[in-house]
Amino acid sequence: MEAEDVQLRLQRLYKLTADEANTLIQSALDSRKKERLLQVRAQSKKIAARVNHKVKSKERNALKELSNTLEEEWKSRQRERLEKAEAEFEEALRIRGEAQRIAEAQNNSNRHTALEHDLQKKRIDDADRRYQIAVTKLRQERKRAAEENQEREKHKHSALEKERVRAAAVAALGTPESMKPKAEDRTLKNKVSLHNNDVRVKDSFYDQPDHAVIPATSEDNIIDAFKAAEEQARLVEDRLRSENIRHTEAAMKSTLRGEDALRKVRLDNSKTTLESHLEVLRRKEFARQNAGSMAATAKRLVTSEATKQFQMEQIVADAIGGAGYSVAPDPELDISSATDSSAPDGQHIPYTHYDLHEEKTTRQGNDTLKLNSPQESSEMSLPEVTQVPSILKTSNSAIPRENHSVRFNDEQKQLLKMFESQKREMELLLEQAKIEHEENLQQLEQAQASTLEVIIIH
């Protein structure tokens, strides 16, 4: 009886309340989340270090090959230049020798042809003398003809001038009494025009005589008809000049307005294109940053009631029996166990976008756990249990543990590379868009400056 009482008392002591069980479950889940996040971060850092090492090694090899290739090309070009220079020097020497031989032969031939040159020079001098005599005679004849034409035009102009003066004097005389119109009555006469029934409108008219005299102008008062014609021509030229200036200004203003409108349309088109490029870049960047969380959310598993019960009982058993549940690190991904020189330094590993994504996942609620790779949700799920272990068993036998580690397959590695290449392409597109925008602004400023200069000049 006493043994049974002791057993019952022990059972009552070992029995946990619901709050205590939930607290233990939550603390165990939090510790497992932290360990899992640390594992994923270490793995991401190692992958980034490996990729960085490979890229740098490839870059060094490419630079070395490029330097060797450039050196070989430079040597070959130097050899070609030396050979070409030697060939040109030999050709120049040959040409110089031929020129010297030709000059000597020419000197010998010049001695024999000196008399012929003297005779030819004499003939040329005689021809020049005859040419000068003929040119002098022709100039004299042309001068005489020009003087005769000028005298003829002068007589003609004087005759026309006398006729203009006579006509102006006759026009300036008064009208004879016999040719003046008779005086007529100019009283106001009302003539009714068409009107409507509402308003009676009357138009007044003056009966003008048949032979109305046109009043004289300022040009008619000038006695000299030639001066009157000059004044009239000057007025016509001034009017034409003013019309030309007005038409030119209107054409220039319309051209400037058209160029300004076309420039505005081009600027609006460039702004629209730039905004579309930026929108595409934003969408791609958003898809790249949220790729891991979207994949994890899509493949999140819903644990069953049996799995939750198994988790609770396993945590309680670990707490009672001291077995504990811990996540063993992957020996292949453990950085601390690396002994070769290629192992990355934990203090100098660059901060990548994987770390940024891990920090985002730690800020999420405690109810869900978002992982960086699509495989993690399936690896974190516990196996199905056919027999639920009893919480009263206090055996210290070790509970089988699962090794939670992430191994990226070829498809996932290719996906990561694709994300990196997309990021570089987006950065290049953004730089190109910025450069195009700056060029458009510079062109707009130059066009405005040129427009202002043209307006100031005119």
Q: Please give the pLDDT value at position 317.
A: 60
Q: Which two tokens stand for residue 255?
A: 């051209």
Tens-binned pLDDT, residue by residue, of the chain (458 aa): 567 776 776 666 666 677 877 888 888 889 889 999 999 998 989 998 889 898 988 888 888 888 888 989 998 888 898 898 888 888 888 888 888 888 888 887 877 788 888 888 888 888 888 888 888 888 898 898 889 988 888 888 888 888 777 777 766 766 666 666 666 555 544 444 444 444 444 444 444 454 444 555 555 555 566 676 777 788 888 888 888 888 888 777 777 777 777 777 877 887 788 788 778 887 877 777 776 665 555 555 444 555 555 666 666 566 555 444 444 444 443 434 444 444 444 444 344 444 444 444 444 444 443 434 444 444 444 334 344 444 334 444 444 444 444 455 676 677 667 777 777 777 787 788 778 778 877 877 777 677 666 666 65
Say which residues have a Cβ less than 8 Å from residue 420's Cβ, sequence separation at least 6. none
**Closest among 161, 174, 170 to 229, alpha carbons compared:** 161
Separation in Å, CA 168 to CA 39, 177, 179, 210: 119, 20, 19, 25
Separation in Å, CA 271 to CA 427, 440, 441: 19, 9, 10
Size (the chain), residues = 458
Sign of CA dihedral 10, 13, 18, 23: negative
Q: How far apart are CA 124 and CA 352, in angstroms?
A: 95
- Residue 20 DSSP SS3: helix
Contact 251, 259 (CB under 8 A): no
DSSP class of residue 390? P
Q: Which two tokens stand for residue 343?
A: 């192992």
From the centroid of its chain, how far is CA 28? 56
Residue carrying the six token digits 């009555």: 185
Strand partners, 191: 203
Sign of CA dihedral 340, 341, 344, 348: positive
Radius of gyration of the chain (CA): 56
**Closest among 328, 323, 289, 336 to 395, alpha carbons compared:** 323
Separation in Å, CA 436 to CA 22, 365, 433, 449: 60, 44, 5, 20
Please tell me the pTM assigned to this model: 0.20
Q: Please give the pLDDT value at position 47.
A: 92
Q: Please give the pLDDT value at position 322.
A: 45
